[in-house]
Amino acid sequence: MNLIVVSDVLCVTVVQGQNGWSVNYTSTQICALKGSTVDLNCTYTYPSRVKDNDTEVERTFWFTKDSNYVYVDLRTDSEYSGRVQYHCDKNNCTLRITDLRESDSAEYKFRFITNQPEGEYTGSLGVTLTVTELKCHSSCHLSDGSSYIWKKNGQDISGQTSNSYSGNFDSTDSYSCAVKGHEKFPSLSLLVVDSVVFCVTAGHWGVMYSSTQICALKGSSAKINCTYIYPSRINDHDIEIKETFWFTKGPDNDPVNLSTDSEYSGRVQYHCDKNDCTLRITDLRESDSAEYKFRFITNQPGGKYTGSPGVTLTVTGNIFI
């Protein structure tokens, strides 16, 4: 009996604009779990002056509904009451939706309004959010009355007996399921990171990337994020992390640390906190277009792991309208 849980996510950066006005979404397709929290991100630009008048931003908001060019701010939408937060800093704005519902599946767009005549702009291609349940599926035919067992971090979750998991998800906790009476055949463990589900490899070694496809402009900066996991003990010995780094060159068994690569000299920063690690590359060049992977090394013999496939970064000097 094979038990599996499936969740898909696709992340693509889109650059769009006209005469200096633009809204760029970090991802245009996001899949998230019911009951979890999701962040939708964008960056917006506008001309600093129009006809000798300085441009000032007067209002920013996200929406899903519009009628005859009347846009409904999500913060005033009763369906999202108490579940929506904005975090805007300079020209970046993030929408956070908590306690996700399947009815939240929609296309989300960002809009900003300035003091200029007709100085309003909406990103025409928004972010399509799909909210789905975490379900337990079996390759065997089961009766409609079958009962299921769910575990979080290896511990039984009381009250969860259906094939659909209901409840809030905690970041970096792992989940698995089994048919009651067949507990010897559980599903693979799944790790929830930022509302996205990742399959945890056997032995609980893994690297999960927030996005697998990133597009950035020449001269700008890019951030590549990952979360990694590993067993706490092997053969009665505690596991300790000795080294973490990112790379693009060399085989997986002997990769070259980016921080020592002369082509990236002075342009690479690592920020690692617990099991999260971010690579920041500044002053991007088109030659930086490559597949980036994260690697961690432990104190165990052979205790090395690389997340594969990695994150494909595409650096371009073109803006498409």
300 forms beta bridges with: none
- pLDDT at 232 (0 to 100): 72
Q: What tokens does 101 get?
A: 């519902």
pTM value > 0.85: no
Question: Domains (ranges, CATH) in the chain?
Answer: 17-132 (2.60.40.10), 135-198 (no CATH), 206-316 (2.60.40.10)
**In the predicted model, what is the mean pLDDT of residues 49-71?**
86
CB of 59 closer than 8 Å to CB of 110: no
- pLDDT at 10 (0 to 100): 30
Q: What tokens does 160 get?
A: 């969860």
- pLDDT at 270 (0 to 100): 95
Report which listed range, 186-195, 258-267, 303-312, is most confident. Answer: 258-267
**Measured between alpha carbons, how far is 64 from 71 in angstroms, rounded to an integer?**
8
Collapsing DSSP to helix, strand or coil, 262 comes out as helix
- pLDDT at 139 (0 to 100): 56
Q: What tokens does 124 get?
A: 């025409």
Geometric angle at alpha carbon 65, from 59 and 69, rounded to 5°: 65
**Measured between alpha carbons, how far is 258 from 237 in angstroms, rounded to an integer?**
30
Q: What tokens does 147 get?
A: 């009962």
In angstroms, the Cα distances linking 240 to 120, 130, 256 are 53, 38, 21
Per the model's pLDDT, the better-predicted residue between 105 and 32 turns out to be 105
pLDDT digits (tens, 9 = 90+) for 2-38: 333 333 333 333 334 456 788 988 777 777 778 888 8
**Measured between alpha carbons, how far is 160 from 234 in angstroms, rounded to an integer?**
31
The chain-wide mean pLDDT, for the chain, equals 79
Reported in sequence order, the residue ranges of 34-126 that DSSP labels E, i.e. its strands, are 38-45, 49-50, 53-54, 57-63, 66-67, 70-71, 84-89, 92-97, 106-114, 120-122
